[in-house]
């Protein structure tokens, strides 16, 4: 959480210029300079020379054809995210012929995009502020992911903080209160739903809890994890192009041993606790009962797929803990199809769970998607916390199909690692926190601003390797569980 521990010294960013060729380098043609006939081979007879030239041309033509075919067959769009770790060239989804027998059914298909934690620390607030206008502009942060997010049929991200307005000063950790533009920019980036059940949703008390939700509505977002009054619901049923998603969002109270009735150590005023979807690790039976009722209600509303966004786990841990594992298994048994976690501020592992109630049911679980954007990084945090991992995020894009027989399922999983490029412009001394998608940025560093710092490309490459290693095998494991329905 505390990404403002110390202000780093500013290095001198490189301009991204490539070194000029050395003088005396070979010409483009690669031919040796002529030196007359002295020391050279004696001239060949004209006939032999003619056939040698023809033969050489033929060989070159064949070589060029082979190279062109090979390049064409393996050519990839550098701006398209890799689907599987260390790109296998596949799509991550099963072929229509994978199902035994029968003919493929018709279906409606949508894409659901999910990203991790959006956190605005004090350095981000400072860089977004315009002295001339007095306004805050966060748009530069999302410039390279906007197309990716907007291309999804439905996009979800965790909004970790509040927008309490003038009732509190704008601030980052430990009590997040951000300008309204910090929220509205997410709409411009293409997000459709914001998640609010997290341990910072009560940072500014009742005022922030209510006004943030009002802003969700005013800016046109769907949201989950909280409600404006006790008669409302903290979960949502949303129709996306004919596919109805049942979406739940809950948070561990993250009490750290504080007395009951607190969240993140903050005492909850009377009546406010029931407005937030909070669960207590010591009272999980009550939590599961509420989840079961919510799922039944969503099913009654026609939900085709149940997706649970949950705020849990231990900060800065790269693998999930026993409590997460137990809760995830129970959610799987209760009928949740997909689990997507947040809170650790690093990407955690993922797995495919099997229901103990119905062994035919599988649940895809990503324990933590990490930070989407924050000021947490290797420069501002102690090295002992694996701090470079806080720069990493994971965007998950699920392809969901609703078949003509009524069956709905996830048929494809696409993982897009992201990295936050935190740097200072060497000319304007303006600071930036920019989300870059990987490996697109690594493949085209100039197009994604990686040359704006002297470490951009190198750190992005490391980030990509770290995240793909953590995700290694999960997409393939999930693909093995997918059996497409047929009309037999």
Q: Would the pLDDT of 165 be above 50?
A: yes
Q: Would the pLDDT of 475 be above 80?
A: yes
pLDDT value at position 381? 81
pLDDT band at residue 59 under the 50/70/90 scheme? very low
Scored b (16 or more CB within 10 A) or e, 226-256 reads: bbeeeeeebbbbbebeebbbbbbbbbbbbbe
pLDDT band at residue 39 under the 50/70/90 scheme? very low
Average pLDDT over residues 371-388: 84
pLDDT band at residue 481 under the 50/70/90 scheme? very high
Q: Which of 247-261, 427-441, 443-457 is predicted least confidently?
A: 247-261
Average pLDDT over residues 342-365: 97
Enumerate domains of the chain plus CATH numbers.
110-481 (3.60.21.10)
pLDDT value at position 100? 56
pLDDT value at position 79? 34
Q: Which of 54-58, 160-164, 304-308 is predicted least confidently?
A: 54-58
Average pLDDT over residues 220-245: 98
Q: Would the pLDDT of 416 be above 80?
A: yes
Q: Would the pLDDT of 461 be above 60?
A: yes
pLDDT value at position 126? 97
Q: Would the pLDDT of 237 be above 50?
A: yes
**Dihedral, 51, 56, 61, 64 alpha carbons, nearest 10:** 180
Average pLDDT over residues 13-21: 30
Average pLDDT, the chain: 83
* Greater model confidence, 323 or 52: 323
Strand-pair category, 243-252 with 305-311: parallel
pLDDT band at residue 175 under the 50/70/90 scheme? very high
């Amino acid at each position: 959480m505390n990404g403002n521990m110390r202000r780093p010294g500013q290095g001198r960013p490189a301009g991204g210029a490539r070194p000029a060729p050395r003088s005396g380098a070979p010409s483009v043609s690669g031919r040796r300079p002529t030196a007359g006939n002295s020391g050279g081979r004696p001239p060949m007879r004209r006939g032999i020379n003619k056939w040698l030239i023809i033969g050489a041309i033929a060989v070159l033509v064949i070589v060029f054809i082979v190279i062109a075919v090979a390049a064409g067959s393996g050519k990839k769009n550098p701006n398209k995210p890799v689907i599987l770790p260390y790109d296998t060239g596949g799509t991550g989804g099963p072929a229509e012929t994978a199902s035994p027998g029968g003919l493929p059914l018709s279906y409606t298909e949508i894409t659901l995009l999910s990203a991790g934690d959006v956190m605005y620390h004090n350095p981000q607030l400072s860089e977004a502020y315009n002295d001339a206008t007095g306004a805050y502009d966060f748009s530069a942060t999302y410039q390279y992911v906007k197309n990716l997010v907007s291309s999804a049929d439905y996009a979800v991200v965790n909004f970790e903080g509040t927008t309490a307005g003038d009732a509190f000063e704008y601030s980052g950790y430990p009590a997040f209160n951000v300008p309204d533009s910090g929220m509205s920019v997410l709409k411009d980036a293409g997000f459709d739903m914001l998640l609010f059940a997290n341990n910072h949703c009560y940072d500014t008390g009742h005022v922030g809890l209510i006004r943030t939700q009002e802003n969700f509505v005013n800016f046109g977002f769907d949201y989950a994890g909280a409600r404006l009054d006790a008669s409302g619901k903290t979960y949502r049923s949303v129709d996306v192009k004919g596919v109805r998603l049942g979406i739940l969002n809950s948070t561990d109270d993250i009490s750290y041993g504080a007395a009951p009735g607190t969240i993140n150590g903050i005492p909850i005023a009377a009546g406010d606790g029931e407005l937030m979807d909070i669960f207590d690790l010591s009272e999980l039976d009550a939590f599961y009962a509420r989840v079961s009722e919510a799922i039944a209600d969503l099913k009654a509303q026609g939900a085709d797929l149940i997706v649970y966004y949950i705020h849990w786990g231990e900060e800065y841990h790269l693998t999930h803990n026993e409590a997460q594992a137990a809760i995830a298994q129970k959610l799987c048994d209760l009928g949740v199809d997909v689990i997507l976690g947040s809170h650790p501020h690093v990407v955690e592992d993922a797995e495919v769970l099997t229901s103990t109630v119905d062994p035919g049911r599988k649940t895809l679980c990503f324990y933590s998607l990490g930070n989407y954007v924050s000021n947490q990084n290797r420069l501002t945090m102690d090295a002992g916390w694996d701090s470079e991992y806080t720069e990493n995020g994971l965007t998950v894009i699920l392809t969901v199909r609703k078949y003509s027989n009524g069956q709905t399922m996830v048929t494809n999983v696409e993982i897009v690692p992201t990295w936050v490029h935190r740097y200072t412009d060497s000319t304007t001394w303006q600071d930036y926190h920019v989300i870059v998608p990987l490996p697109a940025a690594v493949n085209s560093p100039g197009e994604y601003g990686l040359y704006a710092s002297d470490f951009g490309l190198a750190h992005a490459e490391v980030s990509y390797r770290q995240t793909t290693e953590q995700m290694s095998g999960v997409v393939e494991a999930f693909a093995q569980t997918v059996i497409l329905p047929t009309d037999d």
